[in-house]
Structure 1
Amino acid sequence: MAGIVVKMGSYPESDVTFLLKDLSDFSIEKSTQERENLIQSGTHYSEMLPVEYKPTDEYMKLFYASLEESKQKVAEAVGIVAEQIVQKRGFNTVLCSLARAGTPIGVLIKRYIEFKYKKTLPHYSISIIRDRGIDENAIRYIIQQHPDHSVTFVDGWTGKGAITKELTCAVDRFNDTYGTKLSAELAVLADPGYCSDLFGTREDFLIPSACLNSTVSGLVSRTVLNEQWISTDDFHGAKFYRDLLAEDVSNLYVDTISAEFSTIEKKAVEIASEFLESKEEPDWRGLSSVSNIQKDFDIDNTHFIKPGVGETTRVLLRRVPWKILIQPGSEEKLKHILLLAEDRGVPVEKYTNMSYSCCGLIRPVGRDK
């Protein structure tokens, strides 16, 4: 028996169906410092939620400016990924976004395919949790609803590739258990970690939806897996922050990017064909960068290293950062990182021994320097 489908989030139902249990009535949030202490003492991050960071007016101005500046670039990357999905999978596939960073990207891919091909693909958003796997009840629900479709997993970007590995293990386990033949190939907008072979770009650039939390992801929280609220028959859980409706820019974001599809359509087709022909294999070079950082900064656990623009932003929004590393010369495209670091009093260091434009380091509990 699978979980119960409820209406969640601020996107139109035509854009996405969230396969998540609504935990909005429960108090799950912990302060940033309390959550950090619990995580570093062994509590799994998925058992609680961070308090939502409320962006300043200055930061929101930066979000709008970055959206205006990068809307065509993001639209092009969406088109490139969508064209590859169509060429590899056809139209008989379900888009399955990994909540929550994958959700806006899945909405955009669905919209691009509707714009270009006049085909409507089913789109769901489900939970995957590092070290805990994917929501098997949600996958079973999708297969029951669409028995003749393949499933295409979608995420926003790659960092170290932890979710890529988690997905591969989870899908292998699911296929072994249920005798299915799901593909663990992960479609991402940006692959700076070089760990996916279905991507829009490998440039480590600012995807504006990485700037914010729930207010750009349909007002849905991170996903929760805590047996206090989630039984074996339930979908993984999340909260729907209805009280933030006035601050929600989720639909503005996808509407702004979608409006650019007509300008990038031709280029997206050409680049997607080039990518499919060249078949550039992932070389996981991001992991070499992580090894360099681990050694140079004497860090015990790679979980404390969050490389790439998207992951660095997350560190600043919901963890206790120790320091931020940036590639010299990339300051102009990392304005939101520098602003967040200044807001939170986090030191920024120039560092060249990495393939990313920036990296966030989490402060180990008890470490001062």
Structure 2
Amino acid sequence: MISTLQPDKMGSYAPDDVLFLLRDIGHVYLELDNEKREQLIQSGTHYSEMLPMERQPSNTYMNLFYKTLDAHVERVAIAVGVVAEQIIENRGLENLVLVSLARAGTPIGILIKRYIAMRYRVNIPHYSISILRGRGFDEVAIRYILTEHPLGNLQFIDGWTGKGAITNELIHSCQKFNAQQPGQLNANLAVLADPGHCATIYGTRQDFLIPSACLNSTVSGLVSRTVLNLQFMDANDFHGAKYYKELEDMDVSNLYIERIVTCFEHVQSTILQQFQEQVIAPITWEGMKSVQKIQRDFGIENIHFIKPGVGETTRVLLRRLPWKILINPQYLHELEHILLLAKEKNVQVEEYSNMSYACCGLIKAL
């Protein structure tokens, strides 16, 4: 069980906010444009073996990010508090370790850690690790955490759920790990928004925009997507990522955290009221049923080409080749950034209300 490997120093967050358990692969050029990446992914290359280009967002888009943050800051702060209270009710504070799934989970993990520090005056350790669809979580990182915290009660955190692929991946990874180290890991995932109806701990089941979904590395500590490419990486080492120091001028990672943290005290009574009133509904995988319906309605062969939810649709527009975007009309007033990106990229937008999501991105089959 003992882990002697040390991760590389990574990211623009304060060291007390999070420790990324990653290997810096900044020396390797893996960035490809969306067209080339899409061709490789659709012809069988795993998405984690290469990286999307990280481009500077337009001024219009950044203004929209700030506007979105202003509009949603209280909603995010309340969801963070409700999730944190559930974690403490389920796990207690003793030996609690927060483990966020890089990279969308990282700012959420920091916010939960900050909320617990504010309300309970306890500094909970927080790590960020890689998990990849079809390849599981980084076992080297998990062993590192359990070496540092032998009695650690690990709580996994992500930003939101889509159709539940990462939820499933986490369950399988924990089962595989627990087969070697009995009973160490609990696969219950905590997220702010669970429109997929597949997380055990959630702030809301509504598909709302978590503003950090609008940007890439510049809101995630300047860290790239995580990489596992055994052509130049060691299978017995941490998964890799890049630290985009050159984007420091446009980094809003810490601004984002501080903006939400300053809201906590102001919304404290709402958090406690929502937490006390919340009836945790069972996991129904409702989102997956919506996805299967979309698959039938649009004749899509590969279910991986359907990316439901605000966060996933944003990612499709930022780093995949979109075919069309489905918009649930009842959420139209919350999807300004989706409509702007679709317009910038000349992607067709279609109304589609029969889903548990606000919107859904469909990837173009090449």
Q: TM-score with structure 2 length normalisation?
A: 0.97
Tell me which residue corresponds to 1:135. 138
**Cα contact 1:84–1:273 (8 A) shared by 2:** no
Mapped to 2, the partners of 1:273 and 1:228 lie a distance apart of 51
Deviations 1:13-39 (A, max 9, x none): 010000000011210111110000000
Of 177, 193, 198, 1:195 maps to 198
Tell me which residue corresponds to 1:170. 173
Tell me which residue corresponds to 1:356. 357
SS at match of 2:267: helix
Is 1:86 equivalent to 2:85 in the alignment?
no
Q: Kindly report the root-mean-square deviation, in angstroms, between the aligned alpha carbons of the 2 structures.
A: 1.0
Deviations 1:304-327 (A, max 9, x none): 000000000000000000000001
Is 1:60 equivalent to 2:71 in the alignment?
no
Q: Closer, same or farther in 2 for the Cα pair 1:271/1:2, shift >3 Å?
A: farther
Of 72, 76, 79, 2:78 maps to 76
Mapped to 2, the partners of 1:352 and 1:207 lie a distance apart of 21
Mapped to 2, the partners of 1:356 and 1:330 lie a distance apart of 9
Mapped to 2, the partners of 1:329 and 1:82 lie a distance apart of 29
Tell me which residue corresponds to 2:327. 326
Tell me which residue corresponds to 2:30. 28
Is 1:145 equivalent to 2:148 in the alignment?
yes
Of 243, 246, 249, 2:246 maps to 243
SS at match of 1:361: strand
Mapped to 2, the partners of 1:296 and 1:329 lie a distance apart of 20
- Percent identity of the aligned residues? 58
Letter in structure 2 aligned against 1:7: K
Tell me which residue corresponds to 2:163. 160
Letter in structure 2 aligned against 1:122: P
Letter in structure 1 aligned against 2:321: V
**Cα contact 1:72–1:264 (8 A) shared by 2:** yes
Tell me which residue corresponds to 1:116. 119
Q: Using the TM superposition, give the Cα deviation of residue 4 of structure 1 relative to its aligned residue in structure 2, in angstroms.
A: 2.1
Q: Using the TM superposition, give the Cα deviation of residue 180 of structure 1 relative to its aligned residue in structure 2, in angstroms.
A: 3.8
Letter in structure 2 aligned against 1:289: S
Deviations 1:147-184 (A, max 9, x none): 12200000000000000000000000000022343100
Mapped to 2, the partners of 1:2 and 1:312 lie a distance apart of 39
User: Number of paired residues?
Assistant: 363
Letter in structure 1 aligned against 2:308: P
Tell me which residue corresponds to 2:46. 44
Mapped to 2, the partners of 1:364 and 1:187 lie a distance apart of 32
Tell me which residue corresponds to 2:17. 15
Q: Using the TM superposition, give the Cα deviation of residue 2 of structure 1 relative to its aligned residue in structure 2, in angstroms.
A: 5.3
Mapped to 1, the partners of 2:159 and 2:81 lie a distance apart of 14
Mapped to 2, the partners of 1:269 and 1:228 lie a distance apart of 50
Q: Closer, same or farther in 2 for the Cα pair 1:85/1:329, shift >3 Å?
A: closer
Letter in structure 1 aligned against 2:338: I
Deviations 1:120-146 (A, max 9, x none): 000000000000001000000000001
Q: TM-score with structure 1 length normalisation?
A: 0.97
Mapped to 1, the partners of 2:170 and 2:72 lie a distance apart of 29
Unaligned runs of 5+ in 2: none
Mapped to 1, the partners of 2:45 and 2:217 lie a distance apart of 23
**Cα contact 1:15–1:107 (8 A) shared by 2:** yes
Unaligned runs of 5+ in 1: none
Mapped to 1, the partners of 2:136 and 2:311 lie a distance apart of 21
Mapped to 1, the partners of 2:293 and 2:354 lie a distance apart of 7
